[in-house]
Amino acid sequence: MTTSSGQPSASTSRSLVGRDTESVRAYVSSGAPYVWLTAAAISVAFIITLALLVLTAARGLPHFWPADLVEARYAPVGDEEVTVLAEIRSTEEVTSGRLKNAGLKVDEAQPLYERLLIKVANRDLLGADFRPVLSDWLVDRSYPEDAVVLERMEWGNFHGFLHEVKSAGSVVGSGAQAWSKYEPLQDRANQLRREIEEIEKRDIGAINYRLEQLRLDERRLQIDGKTPATHPAAFAKIEERRTVEHAEYEQLRVELDTIRKELERDALLMKTVDGRDVEIPLSHVVRGYRPNAMNVFDKLRYFGAKVWEFVSDDPREANTEGGIFPAIFGTVMMVMIMSVVVMPFGVLAALYLREYAKQGAVTQVVRIAVNNLAGVPSIVYGMFGLGFFVYFVGTSIDKALYAEALPSPTFGTPGILWSSLTLALLTLPVVIVATEEGLARIPRSIREASLALGATKAETLWRVVLPMASPAMMTGLILAIARAAGEVAPLMLVGVVKLAPSLPLDGNAPFLHLERKFMHLGFHIYDVGFQSPNVEAARPLVYATAFLLVLVIIALNLTAIGIRNRLRERYKALEN
C-alpha cells in the first residue's frame, strides 16, 4: 500500500525490513560469511608468509651477485683525502644533525645526506673491510675494467689490480697479458686444493679413525686384565695393524707434501688502489674475477657458482665465507632421526588412549597433560635432555659399553642422537593429538564389521584402523617437522656446535655415528648473526641461511604431504 504522496506505507516498510532481516539471518545461519572470513584470513597469512620469504631472499641472494667496483676519491671536509676501490653495498639517508653529532663537518642547510656502506676489502692491510661514507664526498668515480676481486681463504676479499703472475719464482705474465695467464693457474690451484682436502678428510681421516679403534682395542684388553706377556698374539696383531696404518700415513704425508709444494709454486703480484704492491700466493686464493668487465651472462654464471658453493661446501672465515653444507646435512639428518623416533611412540600413545584406556577422569587428565606439554618452552626440554639423556643415559651407556674410552665420553656428551630424542619429546604431544583425532574420525561400524568377520581387536587395529588413520598420523608428523626443524634453544644444550669436524655419516664403520656433534641451520643463523667478528660481512649470510632453512622445511613438509595425500586417496573409499 502507498500513501497519497506515493510513498510506501509504514506497514509496508516494516514488512520489507522484516524480510531483509530474515534474509540476513538466513545468510549468516548458512555459514557463508564464516567461510569468506576464513578464506580471507588464510589469504592474508599466505601473503604475509610469501612476502617474508621474498624479503629474506631479496636481502640474502644479492650477496652472491658480483657487484661492480668503483674507484673514487673520498674527500671529506676538513679531513685527508683517500682513494678507494670498493663495492657499494647499501645506501641510507641520514640527517645533517646526526652526522654533526658524529663529528663530521656538514652543511646544516642541507637537511639530508646519502650515506653509503662500501666494502673496501683488504682487511689485512686496512684493518676493516667495510666503511660508511657520504655519497657527496665520494668524487671522481670510475669503473676500471681491469679492477680485480680475489676471494681468499683468509682475510676476506682483496681489491686491486693484477700486475704480474709468477710461477716458480719467474714472471709468466704481466700487464695486459697477466689475466689470461692467471686463469689456468687458478684452475690448477683449485684442483690441487681439492686433492689435498680429499686426502686429508677421506684417507687420513680414515687412518686416524682406525688408529683410534686400535687404541681402544688395546685398552679393552688391558681392562680385561690381559697383558703382552699373557696374550702376546692379541697385542702383536694390534701392533702389526698399527704399523701398517702408520706406513700408509707416511705415504700419504709424502704425497701431501708434494702436492702442497706444487700448490705453493704460483703467486700473484697485486697493486692496490693506493699504489702498494702485495704478493698473494695462489694457494690462498679461491677465485678471482673482474666484475666491471663481466657481462650479464658472466655474472649469472658467477652467481650460480656462488650459490652452489653456498649449499655444497664447508664454511670458512668464522662461517662468514664458503658454504653451509654440514648445517644442511645435520638439520635434515636430525629431523629424519627425530621422525623415526617420534612416530612409533606418538602413535602407540594415541592408540592406547583412544582404543585401550578406560575413558574416565584419569584418561582426561592424561590428555590435558599431553596438551599442556605442547606449550612447555623448548629450553626446558633442552635442560631435560641434557640432564636425562646426556648425563644419565649417556653416562650409563659409556660405563657399560665404552669403558675403554673413559674418561673421554662417547655417548655421555651432547650429540645428534640426544638432540633428536629431545626434539622427539618436544614434538610428541603434536603427534599424539593428531593421531588420536584421526582414530576418533574412523566410523565405529568399520571396527564392528572387522570384528564380525572374525578378526581380533589387534588385527582390526593393525590392518584396518591404523591404515585409515595414517593421513592424520602424517599430519602430526608434518606439524612435528615444521616445529623441530627450526628449534635452536634445546639443541644448544644437547648436540649442536658452531663447526663440526666431521659429519655424523661417513665411510668409517659403523658409518652412522650417532654420538657425534653436528651443525644446524638454525644455530648457524644465530652464530653468524650474533657471534660473528665481521658483522657487515655476516648480515647477508643470515638472510641467505634463513631463506635456505625455510626451503628445507618446505621440502621436508612437501614430502610428508605427498605421502599423506597418497594414503588419503588409498583409504578414501573405506571412509565413505
Residue type, 349: A
| Residue boundaries of the structural domains of the chain | 7-50, 70-143, 159-293, 325-522
* Residue 521: count of CB within 10 angstroms of its CB: 22
The CATH classification of domain 325-522, taken from the options 3.40.50.620, 3.30.420.40, 1.10.3720.10, 1.20.140.90: 1.10.3720.10
pLDDT of residue 296: 92
pLDDT of residue 471: 83
User: CA separation (Å) from 261 to 48, 255, 256, 318, 393?
Assistant: 55, 10, 9, 27, 49
Return d(Cα 314, Cα 329) in angstroms, integer: 11
CA 545 to chain centre: 6
456-495: b or e for each residue (b if 16 or more CB lie within 10 Å)?
eeeebbeebbbebbbbbbbbbbbbbbbbbbbbbbbbbbbb
What nine digits make up the cell of 109? 642547510
| Residuewise pLDDT in 10s, the chain (576 residues) | 555 555 555 566 556 556 667 776 776 677 777 788 888 899 998 899 899 889 999 988 998 999 999 999 988 876 778 899 999 988 888 888 888 877 778 777 788 888 899 999 888 888 888 888 888 888 889 999 999 999 998 888 999 999 999 988 888 888 888 898 999 999 999 999 999 999 988 899 899 999 999 998 888 888 888 888 888 888 899 999 999 999 999 999 999 999 999 999 999 999 999 889 999 999 999 999 999 999 999 999 999 999 999 999 888 877 778 889 999 999 999 999 999 999 999 999 988 888 888 888 888 888 888 888 888 888 999 999 999 999 999 999 999 888 888 888 989 899 999 999 999 999 999 999 888 888 888 888 888 888 888 888 888 888 888 888 888 888 888 888 888 888 888 999 998 988 888 888 888 888 888 889 999 998 988 888 888 777 888 888 889 999 998 888 888 888 888 887 887 777 665 555
Return d(Cα 370, Cα 179) in angstroms, integer: 66
Phi-psi group of 182: left, alpha or beta (phi > 0 → left; psi -120 to 50 → alpha; rest → beta): alpha
Return d(Cα 164, Cα 266) in angstroms, integer: 11
Helix (H, G, I), strand (E, B) or coil at 226: coil
428-441: b or e for each residue (b if 16 or more CB lie within 10 Å)?
bbbbbbbbbebbee
Helix (H, G, I), strand (E, B) or coil at 412: coil
pTM: 0.86
